[in-house]
Amino acid sequence: MYAVIETGGKQYRVKQGDVLDVERGLDVEDGKVEFDRVLMLGGGDDDLSIGTPTVEGAVVRASAVEEVRGPKVQVFKFKRRKGYRRKTGHRQNYLRVRIDEIAS
């Protein structure tokens, strides 16, 4: 069985046992996270539930593994012939979660 969830403005296709990095800022209680914005559930050939916009009563439960940081993104501003150059970097904070259960 798999599900399509939405969190942090992004959509993820997950199944039980998957490990993924999501945006930080989720409600983590005792290392557990619940995703209630389930957009689609699927599992077999004819077993497909598409939400309008979400599937009623469906929830994906996950465990928080650790907090990680993403790769560094270089930001470079430049204006030609003016001597203007600015170089900065950014690393996004993520929460690594493991999908425990997909309940419908």
Q: What is the pLDDT of residues 9-24, one digit of tens each?
A: 999 999 999 999 999 9
SS3 28: coil
Q: What is the dihedral of CA 17, 2, 68, 70, to 10 degrees?
A: 140
Per residue in 71-98, pLDDT tens?
A: 999 999 999 999 999 999 999 999 999 9
Q: According to the model, what pLDDT value does residue 45 have?
A: 67
pTM of the model: 0.83
Q: What percent of the chain has pLDDT over 90?
A: 82
pLDDT of residue 47: 82
Q: Containing H/E element for 65?
A: strand 59-69
